[in-house]
Amino acid sequence: MNKLVSMKNVSKTYFPHKDVPVHALNGLDLEVFEGEMVAIFGVSGSGKSTLLHIIGCLDRPTEGEYFLKDEDIKKCSDRRLAEIRNSEIGFVLQDFGLIPYRTAYENISVPFLFSKGKIKEMSGRVINVLEQFGIPELSKRKVYQMSGGQKQRVAIARALVNEPSLILADEPTGALDSSTKIEIYDIFKDLRNSGKTIIIVTHDKEVADMADRVLNMKDGALFR
């Protein structure tokens, strides 16, 4: 199988206050292969979101190597990173990250508008993902009028609209009640079974049980 993510000795240090470094990632290694679902477990503050941001090219490592497919991320310009983010990565966030006063259709269109896709193909693609996630009736509804589960479906549909190679999910069931969680589990199960590559940060044992591999994160490093 092809390697999609390859990280070696990656560190990330923040300087929230001058001269006081926070070592969020400490010499971390990670390999993820195409078609795998990998779950990352760890207490708050262990560096999970920092790691997802770096994998998703929202941020860069302070040190170490990161290859996404065959591309050396260290050598990429900011412009190229933005391109990679848009075409290769689908983000699903705990707080959904949607624009509240826009409709599902408009929210899902956003990544498409930033991509090189032809505008006349947009509506077909958006309608497609709305149907795939069982929410065609939400197309014209504004996000603030939706339930948590509906918002998360819209967020997942948005993450998928550009057909990314890699789906990154940061505690995607963290803000949902238990019956809604079950619906979202099914979506992730389907994504996994359809051969998508997924890296998912979670505290939710049910989500971790779906994964092909579970990695534990502690103090900015990963353990089996």
Ligand X SMILES: Nc1ncnc2c1ncn2[C@@H]1O[C@H](COP(=O)(O)OP(=O)(O)O)[C@@H](O)[C@H]1O
Question: Site residues (CB under 5 A) for Mg ion?
Answer: 48-49
Q: Work out the widest C-alpha separation in the chain, in whole angstroms.
A: 53
Q: Which of 37, 38, 46, 105 binds ligand X (CB under 6 A)?
A: 46
Query: Which of 9, 11, 13, 22 touches ligand X (CB under 6 A)?
Result: 22
Using CB under 6 A as the binding rule, whether residue 33 contacts ligand X is answered as: no
Contacts 24+ apart (CB under 8 A), 16-22: none
Q: Give the nearest distance from C-beta 97 to ligand X in angstroms.
A: 15
Q: Is 196 in the site for ligand X (CB under 6 A)?
A: no
Q: If DSSP states are collapsed to H, E and C, what string results for 149-179?
A: HHHHHHHHHHHHCCCCCEEEEECCCCCCCHH
37, 198 in Cβ contact below 8 A?
Answer: yes
The least distance separating Mg ion from the CB of residue 45, rounded to whole angstroms, comes to 8
**Which CB, 27 or 45, lies closer to Mg ion?**
45
In angstroms, what is the minimal distance from the CB of 23 to ligand X?
8
Q: Is 49 in the site for ligand X (CB under 6 A)?
A: yes
- Smallest gap from Cβ 12 to Mg ion, in A, equals 13
Q: Which residues contact 118 (CB under 8 A, 6 or more apart)?
A: none
Q: Contact region for ligand X (CB under 6 A) — 44-52, 77-85, 107-115, 124-132?
A: 44-52
Report helix, strand and coil shares of the chain as percent, to nearest 5. 40, 30, 30
14 binds, among Mg ion, ligand X, none (CB under 5 to 8 A by kind): ligand X
Q: Could you tell me if residue 176 is left (phi over 0), alpha (psi between -120 and 50 degrees) or otherwise beta?
A: beta
The CA R_g of the chain, rounded to the nearest whole Å, is: 17
Q: Which does 86 bind (CB under 5 to 8 A by kind): ligand X, Mg ion, none?
A: none
Amino acid identity for residue 85 in this structure: R
Q: Does 181 bind ligand X (CB under 6 A)?
A: no
The site for ligand X (CB under 6 A) is made up of: 14, 16, 22, 24, 42, 44-50
